[in-house]
Structure 1
Amino acid sequence: MSHFMQSKLSRSSKTGLVCGALSLLSVASALVSDPAWAMAPWHGPIKPFATFPTPPGFPEGIAVDGNRVFVSGPATFGTAGSGPSKVFVYDRDSRVLKSTITVAGEALDAEHALSCIAVDGPGRVYALSTQLGLLRFRKTGHQYVQESYGDPLPDLPSCATAAPGAACSPVPFETPPIPNDIVFDEDGYAYVTDSLQATIFRYAPGGGAPEIWFQSAALVGGGPQPFGVNGIRLDPLREHVYFAVTFSLADPSLGSIYRLPLVDAPEEADLELVHDYAAGEAPDGIAFGKSGKLYVTLAAANAISVLDEDGDEVSRIESSPWDEVPLDAPANVAFIDSAKTLLIVNHALLTGNPDNFGVLRVWVGDKADPLEKPWLP
């Protein structure tokens, strides 16, 4: 209750104290029993943190490491003939753009994109390229040196047409790989979602070829933009892997949060449903707070859904008419712990409005559940 209201009780007499306390308890009881109060806004105003230059536009990935905030893009289709993918590096406190990492080696006359990113113990940046696989960038002086860390995701045939025993995808028809999000475990394995092949891949410490970690028809996307498995994170106890499915094949208006045990080879029976979004809201990126709450971006609803440890939605972060920049297809979130602030990547995928490309910030009174940042070879 202390987070939402403060009451000044009369100190003039014991009677006043008792009456004031009883009054406070009555108000508290009424509020707790009121569903509208339970979903009332508890966050600060949404403010700009930084713009994301166009080109490339369409930012998606974000990672915070010390006083640096990394933001990657473009994450969109229709990039053939455009410039290279980039990661922009901002100062956490001043919000000034400090440097730009430009991806080398892309075939710019073909589709190319950069989705999500992660950081390891020494502060090296890992980025998922649709063409080049899992890239790593090492800071040397004022520059970042690009390295190839993991091979591109394989283009799997549909299991409906694949040869018996061959690696395949549970999608009903063949689709290309689309690497989307990445998270490390404490041993250095990197888990990568493939939004069009209904697969979570895993890179061993040191990179190389990815292996299939989990597949399921529940991860298959549907609708005009058939993105299935999407954002991915480990829970605070490091017992489960949580991930979003943006659009269900069975019902494209349905999006879900699932979890699996953090084991070497999870099975279909291990898959647990955490929460459904049933109105075409498109859950995308996810992040755990130190509080245990799970923050879920809803790309189509232009909102952040906040789930408690039981998977129940306890609040939403939404734009107000007086916000300078509105939430526009938010893609991913990260925390600035010192300010108890949530950073939100404005992807603006559906509107394509360059004025909305960037990162927003909102006070939530929560810090990050620290991501694993392993020391890798």
Structure 2
Amino acid sequence: MLHSVLSKLSRSNVKSLAQGALVLLSAASALIAAPAEGSRRGGIQTFARTPANPGFPEGIAVDGNRVYVSGPATFGTAGKGPSKIFVYGTNSEDLKSTITVAGEALDAEHALSCIAVDGPGRVYALSTQLGLLRFTRAGHGYVQQSYGAPLPDLPACAAAAPGEACSPTPFDLPPIPNDIAFDEDGYAYVTDSFQATIFRYAPGGGAPEIWFQSEALAGGGPQPFGVNGIRLDPLREHVYVSVTFSLADPSVGAIYRIPLVDAPDEADLELVHEYAGGQAPDGFAFGRSGKLYVTLAGTNAISVLDEDGGEASRIESSPCDEIPLDAPANVAFNDAKSTLLIVNHALLSGNADNFAVLKVPVGDRADPLEKPWLP
């Protein structure tokens, strides 16, 4: 996921970052052009095209007969229209309604990343400007309210005062809220891609607290996006996260897991799978089978990991597909169809024709996400 870096980065820096990422990921694609053993090509269909305004979709959540898709998750949004969430039906690819975010300062950078749903069906969305928002359905529309405060801007630990909360990164960057997952008690875990931190909101929202930090979650390279996607494992014993570009080697990404406890120690961080060559793991989802479906934005593929963390197969585009995989960002299951829904972020290409949600039959269903009943 790529968002605004707010006031700390100029437009020229943003352009340089994006160009650098394009070079890195283009090289990665060339390095890994050959399909992995057990890869599967073809069979990817279009579920829905998402509007070019605001474009760059990233988040997806399925609740009952509704599919929610959020965006934009990109740089250069200052002076453009508001962020939005599009609502589709699981049995129909037509756009049912649109939720438009209110209260953004549109003359400044603004973005909407990932989303989640609670027990009553309320939608939670991460805004770079406004924090954690909640949308409650009311008739044919949705009512917006603030649920959680924006993530704090932490100083780099090297420059922090003794005892001051800080970020285990080599230099200071603003917070970038990325993905969100609930546990059964109603805590919301949020990844911060620029501050190597996982924050946690208590049930009922309010101010976020630091739950876990590690230099291993820090990003590197022209696009320093570290910790990215987040989900609980089927046994609810661990929190799984992805790191897109690692600090030690930006061509390497990884899936890690952390014990689901109140105060995990940094030594508890465990490597599940490593992706070399700039494959750039982003969002992911567990299937009921126990398999983990991971989007690879750098190589336009879905990596399917088995329960031991080994790669069992890959889902890749075919020349016959109407819309190719283009920097896929997140996935969710449409259980009614036993299909995997894939959000085409199309970040580096910027090709509006590829802004879409794709679908592919996988013979699997979702490991049910926690959808707590919150105040």
Q: Could you state the TM-score of these two structures normalised by the residue count of structure 2? A: 0.90
Q: Is 1:347 the equivalent of 2:323?
A: no
Q: Which runs of 5+ in 2 are unaligned?
A: 1-33
Q: Deviations over 1:198-247 (max 9, x none)?
A: 00000000000000000000000001111000000000000000000000
* Whole-angstrom distance in 1 between the partners of 2:324 and 2:77: 25
Determine the structure 2 residue equivalent to 1:281.
279
In the other structure, the counterpart of 1:8 is none
The CA distance in 2 between the partners of 1:38 and 1:86, in whole Å, is 36
- Residue 103 of structure 1 and its aligned partner are, at CA, apart by 0.2
Alignment of 1:247-286 (within 5 A): 247-286=245-284
The equivalent residue for 2:3 is none
Please report how far the alpha carbon of residue 38 of structure 1 lies from its aligned counterpart in structure 2 after TM superposition: 9.4
Quick one: which of 197, 200, 224 aligns to 2:198? 200
Asked whether the equivalents of residues 38 and 314 of structure 1 are also in contact (C-alpha less than 8 Å), the reply is no
Specify the SS of the correspondent of 1:131. coil
CA distance in 2, matches of 1:261, 1:40: 31
2:186 paired with 1:188: yes
Max Rg structure: 1
Which structure is richer in relative contact order (CA contacts within 8 A, separation 6 or more)? 2
CA distance in 2, matches of 1:164, 1:70: 43
How far off is 1:339 after superposition?
1.1
Q: Which of 298, 322, 325 is equivalent to 1:324?
A: 322
Q: Cα distance, 1:354 vs. partner? A: 0.3
Q: Deviations over 1:143-183 (max 9, x none)?
A: 10001000000000000100000000011111000000000
Q: Could you say if the C-alpha distance between residues 37 and 59 of structure 1 is closer, same or farther in structure 2, counting changes exceeding 3 Å?
A: closer
- Residues 41 and 318 in structure 2, CA contact (< 8 A), matched pair in contact too: no
- The aligned counterpart of 1:16 is none
Q: What CA distance in whole angstroms lies between the structure 2 residues aligned with 1:38 and 1:218?
A: 26
Matches within 5 A, 1:1-377: 39-41=37-39, 45-377=43-375
Shift in alpha-carbon separation, 1:324–1:38, aligned structure 2, 3 A: closer
TM superposition shift of 1:40: 2.8
Counterparts of 2:311 and 2:179, CA distance in 1: 23
- Matched with 1:12 is none
- Give 1:358 deviation, angstroms: 1.1
| 1:95 Cα deviation from its structure 2 partner | 1.2
SS of residue in 2 equivalent to 1:296: strand
Q: CA deviation at 1:141?
A: 0.5
Distance of 2:54 and 2:273 partners within structure 1: 34
Report the identity percentage.
81
- The farther-off stretch of 69-78 and 36-45 is 36-45
Q: Which amino acid aligns with 1:72?
A: S
Q: Matches of 2:115 and 2:206 in 1, distance apart?
A: 17
Cα distance in 2 for residues equivalent to 1:222 and 1:276:
16
- Offset, 1:37: 12
User: Could you tell me how far apart the structure 2 residues matched to 1:127 and 1:69 are?
Assistant: 14
* CA offsets 1:270-322 (integer angstroms, 9 cap, x no match): 00000000110000001000000000000011000000010000000000111
Once residues 125 and 38 of structure 1 are traced to their aligned partners in structure 2, the CA distance between those partners, rounded to angstroms, is 37
CA distance in 2 between partners of 1:38 and 1:326 (Å): 18
Whole-angstrom CA distance in 2 between matches of 1:181 and 1:117: 7
RMSD between superposed Cα atoms in Å: 1.3
Cα distance in 1 between the residues matched to 2:360 and 2:137 = 29
Instruction: Provide the rounded CA distance (Å) in 1 between the counterparts of 2:109 and 2:308.
Output: 40
Give the C-alpha shift of residue 41 in structure 1.
4.1
SS at match of 2:360: strand
Asked whether the 8 Å contact 1:44–1:364 carries over to 2, the reply is: no
Letter in 2 for 1:193: T
Q: Is this contact kept in 1: 2:218–2:226, CA < 8 A?
A: yes
Letter matched to residue 129 of structure 1: S
Aligned partners of 2:262 and 2:356: how far apart in 1? 37
